[in-house]
Amino acid sequence: MNGKSIFAALLLASPALYAADPSVLALFERVPAPPASSAAATGWVAGAMEQPASDELASQRRQVEALMRPQASASGGAMPSDYQRAAADPAYAAQLQARLQAMTPQQQMQEAMRYSAAYSAGAQQEVVRMSQDPAAVRAAIEAHQALPPAEYSAMTRIQSIRDRVQDQESVIGRTFVRELQCGDGEGGCSAAQAEHDRRAARAAWDRILSEYDRGLTDIGREFVNWKASRAKLMAEGERRLAATHYGADSNSDTNRQQLAMYHNTLLGEIELLLRTSTETAQWAAARRADRRVAFHAID
C-alpha cells in the first residue's frame, strides 16, 4: 500500500443514512402504464408522465449509493484516529495527504502496517457487529439471496409487438406507393390526381395509426401482466427492507451493503418497467407526430 492508496481509504467518509425511509412498493405503484392509443401517447409524452417515478427512482438510487459506503469504520472501527479526523476535516485531510506523499518508501511501509493493524482490529469488530444485528436484518439478506431472476420475457414480447406493428406499417406504405397517381413527381399531374394521392396518403396514415393502436392494446396487456407478476416480490421487498428501516437498523457495514444491494435489485426491476413504458409512449407519439406515409405528406 503506497501513500496514495492509504489516503484513498480515508475518502470513504461516513454519509448520512436515509433521512426518511424510502418505499420501493410506492415507487413500483407509481410507474405509469404505457398509453392505450397513439392519440394518448402524444399527451403522455407532453405531460412527462414518467417524470415523478423517474425522479423518485434517482433519489432512491442516491440513497442506495450512500448506504453502500462504509459507516462503522468511519465511526471509529477500522481507521486510526488521524484518518478518522481527516475523514471529517478536509483541511486536515490535505495535510495528511501531503505528509503521506513526503514519506520515504520505508516510512510508507510502516504507515501501511499501522493502518493494516487498525483495519484488522476493525474487521474483528465488524464480525461482532454482524452477529449482533437484529433478526430482521438477517431475514432481509436471506430474502434477497432467494430472489428469482429479473423478468425479461415480457420485454421480449413487447418488442415483438412493436416489430409486428412496424412490419405492417411497411406493408401499408408499399401498397400506398403502388396506388399513387402522381408518384414520380415528373410530368403533368391533374388536380384530381393530386387529390387522389392526398386522400390515399391520409387513408394509409389512418391505417398505420390503427396498427399502432392495436399494438398499444397488446403492449398494455403485456405490461399489466408483467407488473402483476412482480407485485408480490415488491411487497415482500418492502416488508423486509422496511423492517430494517432500509438498513438504518444495522450497525454492520457488511450487512448494510447487502441490504442496499437488495434495495438496488428491486430498483432495477422498477427501472425496466419504467423504461419500457416510457419508450413505448415515445415510439407511438413519434409516429403520430410524423404525418407522412412513405415520405409523402398527408396534409
What is the pLDDT, as a whole number, of residue 163?
98
Asked if residue 83 belongs to a domain, the reply is no
Asked if residue 109 belongs to a domain, the reply is no
Q: What average pLDDT is seen over the chain?
A: 86
**Res. 192: pLDDT tops 70:** yes
pLDDT-derived band of residue 250, with 50, 70 and 90 as boundaries? Answer: very high
**Res. 212: pLDDT tops 70:** yes
Contact status, residue 144 vs residue 262, Cβ threshold 8 Å:
yes
Query: Given its phi and psi angles, is residue 20 left (phi above 0), alpha (psi -120 to 50 degrees) or beta?
Result: beta
Asked if residue 152 belongs to a domain, the reply is yes
Q: What are 4's three cell numbers?
A: 496514495
Contact status, residue 69 vs residue 16, Cβ threshold 8 Å:
no
Asked if residue 9 belongs to a domain, the reply is no
Full-model pTM:
0.77
The lowest-confidence range among 1-15, 127-141, 174-188, 195-209 is 1-15
Q: Using one digit for the tens of pLDDT, what is the confidence trace for 151-181? A: 899 999 999 999 999 999 999 999 999 999 9
Q: Using one digit for the tens of pLDDT, what is the confidence trace for 39-75? A: 999 999 999 999 999 999 999 999 999 888 876 444 4
Q: Using one digit for the tens of pLDDT, what is the confidence trace for 111-138? A: 777 777 666 666 667 778 888 899 999 9
The more confidently predicted of residues 106 and 174 is 174
- DSSP string across the chain: --HHHHHHHTTS------SS---HHHHHHHPPPPPSSHHHHHHHHHTTTTHHHHHHHHHHHHHHHHHHS--TTTTTSSS-HHHHHHHH-HHHHHHHHHHHHHS-HHHHHHHHHHHHHHHHHHHHHHHHHHHHS-HHHHHHHHHHHTPPPPP-HHHHHHHHHHHHHHHHHHHHHHHHHHH-SSTT--S---HHHHHHHHHHHHHHHHHHHHHHHHHHHHHHHHHHHHHHHHHHHHHHHHHHHHTTTTTTT---HHHHHHHHHHHHHHHHHHHHHHHHHHHHHHHHHHHHH--EETTEE--
As for how many domains the chain has, the answer is 1
- What does the longest C-alpha to C-alpha distance in the chain come to? 94
**Res. 15: pLDDT tops 50:** no
Asked if residue 25 belongs to a domain, the reply is yes
**Res. 188: pLDDT tops 50:** yes
The more confidently predicted of residues 31 and 102 is 31
Asked if residue 8 belongs to a domain, the reply is no
Asked if residue 1 belongs to a domain, the reply is no
Q: Using one digit for the tens of pLDDT, what is the confidence trace for 253-280? A: 889 999 999 999 999 999 999 999 999 9
Asked if residue 35 belongs to a domain, the reply is yes
pLDDT-derived band of residue 9, with 50, 70 and 90 as boundaries? Answer: very low
What is the pLDDT, as a whole number, of residue 221?
98
Half-sphere exposure in the Cβ direction for 53 (13 Å, CA): 24
Give the domain extent around 192. Answer: 20-71+134-297
What is the pLDDT, as a whole number, of residue 71?
65
Q: What are 86's three cell numbers?
A: 481527516
